[in-house]
Chain A
Amino acid sequence: MTTEQEVITLTNQVFEESFEIEKEKLQPQMNIFEDLGLDSLDVVDLVVALQKKFGVKIRDDERVRSIRTLGDIYQFILSLKTEWKS
């Protein structure tokens, strides 16, 4: 099973590779819209990249709409992984 640290590392990799955001900015409290500068269309790209990275299906999940911070994404991926395993 993917550990919390692995989820954080892989998620941060997605932000670095897909959006070229510096590592130092990737803190859990960062708002992905106001601090990192993503918009609604970037979120679509983010979802596709996360699906590819973690091998999970996110696209139709309603919980994506409530994501605001990077920490929310870590928790969301972790919960998906847990659900998927059970």
Chain B
Amino acid sequence: MEILKLIYLNTMFYVSFFLFSAVGIPLLSLLVAFLSLFMSHRRTMKRFRRAINWYGTVIIRVLPFPLVRIRYKDFAKDDERGPYVFVCNHQSTSDPFLMACLPYECIQVVNIWPFRIPVLGKFAKWAGYLSVREMPFGEFSRKTVELLGQGVSVITFPEGTRSGDKPIGQFHGSIFRVALQAKCPIAPVCINGNKKIPPRGSLLLRPGTIRVHKLPALQWEEYKDMKPFELKNRVRDIIAREQAVMDVKA
């Protein structure tokens, strides 16, 4: 009986996902295209990224309910100001969608394959997402600093690949070198509860609650004297500790 219910809810999710995408993506695109006639490129991009955020919010919060519930908590200090470099752990395919929880204008740093996803890959490219493995470090650094300078936050998954059931993996250091250069705050983001939403190698969403915690950001003044290697391990430790706490509470 439980299995039938699970299959029914998954079918409902995927059907509504495709229907909403088929209608929502062209509608939002048309809206942004129309607004671009009256706005500067910068403001149009801002609206475009906000539209992507709305789309993501519906995909993660509305369509999978009640099978999957999302709890977002912001632990930011009162005096914190973005834009941020968001550093997140990476357990599941759902992680990039969950970033719609973050109420900021953002782009994501991706590996090669997300740009190859039909439709969504194209939109990611247009929104200025960065495919880190398809550009030299110098270019990645320049583009990231430029985006941060415009007030756009940058979301990264420095493990590079999904850890699934394994403990949090080693971090790649590129983004930490860029953060040191850009002098911007680094906000660790801990995602918990989605190892099986969906599990690696499957599309079947299991029921559960996903928690996304945005932790207090490390200000540049706090980390400016650290070497990139030390910095990436400091942030990794913060996320791993939060992950352990969230595992116990779950």
CB distance from A33 to the nearest CB of B (A): 7
CB distance from B180 to the nearest CB of A (A): 12
B228 touches A42 (CB 8 A): yes
A20 within 8 A of B: yes
Q: Could you list which residues of chain B lie within 8 angstroms of chain A, going by C-beta atoms?
A: 137, 170-174, 177, 227-230, 232-233
B170 touches A37 (CB 8 A): yes
> Chain B at the A interface: mostly helix, strand, loop or mixed?
helix
CB distance from A22 to the nearest CB of B (A): 11
Residues of B within 8 A of A39 (CB): 170-174
- Given contact pairs A37-B232, A37-B233, A41-B177, a sample of 5 additional A-B residue pairs in the complex whose CB atoms are under 8 Å apart: A20-B229, A41-B174, A41-B228, A42-B173, A45-B228
CB distance from A48 to the nearest CB of B (A): 12
Residues of B within 8 A of A18 (CB): 227, 229
Residues of B within 8 A of A45 (CB): 227-229
Size bracket of the A interface: 10 to 19
CB distance from A30 to the nearest CB of B (A): 12
In the assembly, what is the distance between CA of A19 and CA of B226, in Å? Answer: 10
A10 within 8 A of B: no
B230 touches A20 (CB 8 A): yes
Q: Looking at the complex, which one of A20, A33, A41 makes contact with B137 (CB distance below 8 Å)? A: A41
Q: In this complex, what residue of B is CB-closest to A40?
A: B172
Residues of A within 8 A of B170 (CB): 33-34, 37, 39
A64 within 8 A of B: no
- Among A22-42, those with CB < 8 Å from B are 33-34, 37-39, 41-42
In the assembly, what is the distance between CA of A5 and CA of B101, in Å? Answer: 54
A19 touches B227 (CB 8 A): yes
CB distance from A18 to the nearest CB of B (A): 7
Residues of A within 8 A of B232 (CB): 37
